[in-house]
Amino acid sequence: MAVSDRSVSGHAGATGESLPWAGLLALSMAAFITILTEALPAGLLPAIGGGLGVSEAAAGQLVTAYALGSLLAAIPLTFLTQGLRRRPLLLAAIFGFLFANTLTAMSGSYTLTLVARFVAGVAAGLLWALAAGYAARMAPEHLKGRAIAVAMAGTPLALSLGVPAGTFLGAQIGWRSCFALMSGLTVLLVFLVLAKVPDFPGQPAGKRSNPVSVLKRPGIGSVLLVVLTFVLAHNILYTYIAPFLGQAGMTARTDTVLLVFGIASLFSIWIVGVLIDRHLRALTLFSTGLFALAAVMLWLGGAVPGVVYVACAFWGLAFGGCATLFQTAGARAAGPVADIAQSMLVTVWNMAIAGGGLAGGLMLDAFGVTSFPPVLLVLIVLSLLLILRARGHGFPRRV
């Protein structure tokens, strides 16, 4: 989950008239590795659980541990590292992924793997605090938005291609080999960053933001609550998608379902990118309503493969652009304190990821996968009501 780092976007970074493609692609690759590290266990839960000798619900807590690392790290790391140079911080985050994924690939201990996942989450909290602002600082003024889009392109690519490919490879070569491959990609990324990503100074002491007053700004609370309910609903289903598909006899087709979800997400990101400046509120309401429709379809037809595919396509359309919608809403509501507001958004996002892993595991053990859709629907309707109420600030009618 990306977070805007305005502490690095306020200085002149690029003097040319074209985008620094190699450096931006390095940031995009970092985003790809971050999202793939976060989401890959969702497609490999049965194999990971078997390899570590734990249940699928316990294996789902690997997602929870990652999210806990991010939610605990995002705000303090964003605040405490404002004055430090940027590239060493970026490399520190990348080395965190290298360490965590290598340990995950080698570990035979469930507890040790949980620790590795927590470390990966901390690394993600630091990386998202840098990525978007770093991209803006590397580009000339009139191309900053496009630079951020390029740097963030690794996120939808990881969801649409990386996770399905990783799920397929996990069935062919084993889940540990998938994490080892990510470590190999991370080594390549280190050399690319050293060669192509420039270093920049941190924020001067007099310009650093204070996170305490951000919550008092109109609209911030509404945006954060929408993020919490929407992303919690998403992660209950996404984390346990493999066991959920079992009721339709589709466990072996988890990679295909995730590919459908990912392609729909890519299309959603394109639509949101074209329309968001004029239709933020309408897009957010539409995405939430579409997610509610998907939950109803999975509730009524979750045992029918055709219904599952269509519902997951709607789910992907609903979810793909939501990070951009929520970040934009939060930044507009926060104004000059957007950097801290975004770190809070990342924290709440990861609270929802952790909550999804925990709540979904409890529901799976106690009630089975049929309990997922009605709970999702309650959370999504709550999101919809919050958006409707935030018509003055947060998700205002004018945009």
More confident residue, 377 or 262: 377
More confident residue, 364 or 213: 364
If you average pLDDT over residues 215-230, what whole number do you get? 90
In whole angstroms, what separates CA 286 from the centre of its chain? 20
Of 144, 120, 122, 123, the C-alpha closest to 16 is 144
* pTM: predicted TM-score of the whole model, two decimal places: 0.73
Out of 164, 199, 234, a domain closes at: 199
Give domain status of residue 1, yes or no: no
Q: How many residues does the chain have?
A: 399
Out of 136, 169, 199, a domain closes at: 199
55-82 pLDDT, tens digit per residue, is 888 888 898 899 889 878 888 887 788 7
Q: Is 31 exposed, middle or buried (0-12, 13-18, 19+ CB in 10 A)?
A: buried
Give domain status of residue 208, yes or no: no
Say whether both 138 and 168 belong to one domain: yes
| Diameter of the chain measured on Cα atoms | 59
Give domain status of residue 345, yes or no: yes
Burial 70-104 (b: 16+ CB within 10 A, else e): bbbbbbebbbebbeeebeebbbbbbebbbbbbbbb
Helix axes 175-196, 163-173, angle to 10 degrees: 130
Spatial distance between the Cα atoms of 360 and 76, rounded to a whole number of angstroms: 28
In the chain, the amino acid numbered 96 is G
Say whether both 330 and 271 belong to one domain: yes
Domain region containing 186: 17-199
Structural domain count, the chain:
2
Out of 170, 199, 228, a domain closes at: 199
Exposure on the CB side of residue 226, measured as CA atoms within 13 A: 28
- Residue 351 maps to which CATH number? 1.20.1250.20
Say whether both 176 and 246 belong to one domain: no
DSSP string, 133-173: HHHHHHS-GGGHHHHHHHHHTHHHHIIIIIHHHHHHHHHHH
Say whether both 60 and 161 belong to one domain: yes
Say whether both 269 and 138 belong to one domain: no
If you average pLDDT over residues 94-110, what whole number do you get? 94
10-54 pLDDT, tens digit per residue, is 444 454 567 788 998 999 899 899 989 988 887 788 889 999 999
Average pLDDT of the residues of the chain: 84
Residue 381's CB is within 10 A of a number of other CB atoms, namely 16
Say whether both 193 and 226 belong to one domain: no
DSSP string, 226-270: HHHHHHHHHHHHHHTHHHHHGGGT-GGGHHHHHHHHHHHHHHHHH
Query: What share of the chain in percent tops pLDDT 70?
Result: 88
Say whether both 269 and 164 belong to one domain: no
Spatial distance between the Cα atoms of 345 and 159, rounded to a whole number of angstroms: 20
Whole-number Cα distances in Å, 4 to 22, 149, 202, 316, 345: 21, 12, 14, 24, 10
Q: Is the pLDDT of residue 90 over 90?
A: yes
Of 330, 221, 179, 239, the C-alpha closest to 43 is 239
Helix axes 338-366, 372-389, angle to 10 degrees: 150
Give domain status of residue 2, yes or no: no
Give domain status of residue 306, yes or no: yes
Q: Is the pLDDT of residue 371 over 70?
A: yes
Spatial distance between the Cα atoms of 213 and 229, rounded to a whole number of angstroms: 23
In the chain, the amino acid numbered 342 is Q
Say whether both 86 and 229 belong to one domain: no
In the chain, the amino acid numbered 59 is A
Say whether both 227 and 165 belong to one domain: no
Say whether both 36 and 173 belong to one domain: yes
Asked if residues 265 and 159 have their Cβ atoms less than 8 Å apart, the reply is yes
Give domain status of residue 55, yes or no: yes
323-370 pLDDT, tens digit per residue, is 778 877 877 787 666 667 777 888 888 788 878 888 988 998 888 888
In the chain, the amino acid numbered 391 is R
Give domain status of residue 105, yes or no: yes
Give domain status of residue 360, yes or no: yes
Of 388, 392, 149, the C-alpha closest to 282 is 388
Q: Which H helix or E strand runs over 78?
A: helix 56-80
Say whether both 192 and 238 belong to one domain: no
Say whether both 160 and 259 belong to one domain: no
Spatial distance between the Cα atoms of 70 and 349, rounded to a whole number of angstroms: 9
